[in-house]
């Protein structure tokens, strides 16, 4: 099973990917961990594409992230797509909570990308920037992603759009059942 998860900031992509990885016994890749280098530097596009191509060439995986520069590599290999389309207030609340939690060292908060160090992530700027990205996601990015999914001819029954926090459980249970877990 090869699952791609898309969603705006604060929608729960990484949390869902980790949960699916655990429940379905699949390796998980967070694209942010590959793309973001120390100091929020970005991996060059060709190196990023090579790294992602290597991951998706394998038989089983869960991958999360919205990177358009690799969707043409990921989508032809997926067996399932999960798109998170939660209400904007939920996403903004989660962004603020996560950013504050990272700053204060709270347990259970989604960590920064693996290679980025939490050396002064500016609290207000991070929250505002990610909230703006959440608005962009809701206004059009999700629509474009789903259009690309349709163009890739992924069967409609393999595409799940989650619009509520409670919808996650049903998707996880359905995918686990498909694997007999």
Strand, coil or helix: what is 159?
strand
Average the pLDDT over 105-128 and give the result: 64
Q: What value does the mean pLDDT of the chain take?
A: 88
Predicted local distance difference test score (pLDDT) of residue 129: 73
Does residue 55 or residue 116 have the better pLDDT? 55
pLDDT class for 114, splitting at 50, 70, 90? low
Average the pLDDT over 141-156 and give the result: 93
Write down the domain spans for the chain.
2-178
User: Does domain 2-178 correspond to CATH entry 3.40.50.300?
Assistant: yes
Please identify which residue in the block is written with the tokens 């060292």.
Answer: 105
Predicted local distance difference test score (pLDDT) of residue 74: 98
Whole-angstrom CA distances from 116 to 40, 99, 119, 141 are 6, 14, 9, 25
Query: pTM of the full predicted structure?
Result: 0.86
Count of CB atoms situated within 10 Å of the CB of 177: 10
Q: pLDDT (tens digit, 9 = 90+) per residue, 51-75?
A: 999 999 999 999 999 999 999 999 9
């Amino acid at each position: 099973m090869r699952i791609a998860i898309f969603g705006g900031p604060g929608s729960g992509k990484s949390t869902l990917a980790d949960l699916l990885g655990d429940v379905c016994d699949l390796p998980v890749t967070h694209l942010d961990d590959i793309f973001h280098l120390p100091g929020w530097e970005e991996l060059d596009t060709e190196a990023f594409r090579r790294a992602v191509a290597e991951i998706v060439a394998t038989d089983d995986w869960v991958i999360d992230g919205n990177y358009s520069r690799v969707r043409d590599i990921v989508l032809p290999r997926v067996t399932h797509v999960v798109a998170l389309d939660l209400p904007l207030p939920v996403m903004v609340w989660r962004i603020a909570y996560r950013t504050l939690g990272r700053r204060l060292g709270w347990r259970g908060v989604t960590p920064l990308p693996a290679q980025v160090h939490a050396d002064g992530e500016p609290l207000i700027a991070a929250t505002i920037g990610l909230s703006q990205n959440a608005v962009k996601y809701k206004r059009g990015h999700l629509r474009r992603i789903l259009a690309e999914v349709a163009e890739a001819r992924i069967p409609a029954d393999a595409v799940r759009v989650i619009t509520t926090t409670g919808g996650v459980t049903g998707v996880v249970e359905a995918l686990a059942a498909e694997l007999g877990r």
